[in-house]
Amino acid sequence: MPQLPQDKANHFIYGLAIFLVVGFAIDAVAGVGAAAVFGAGKEVYDRVSKKGCPETLDFLATAAGGVAGYLCTYLP
């Protein structure tokens, strides 16, 4: 089984953490939205600041963390 690169794993964990904070403070849908918005914002920041390398897969990994949190919240 292929391993997930460390960078993508970090994005996933951050997306999950954002979901947990916002999801429990407001609601689960807001948590997923916040993870997606923060993921997109980070990639825009990377592009504009030239301090990082913007990648679509980084955004998707962050959003996937939020979606995973949402699914774990609502699965029996």
SS3 content of the chain, % helix, strand, coil (to 5): 80, 0, 20
Whether 76 shows a pLDDT value over 80: the answer reads no
CA distance 65 to 33: 11
Whether 3 shows a pLDDT value over 90: the answer reads no
Tens of pLDDT, residue by residue over 7-63, are 999 999 999 999 999 999 999 999 999 999 999 999 999 999 999 899 999 999 999
Buried b (16+ CB within 10 A) or exposed e, 10-27: ebbebbbebbbebbeeee
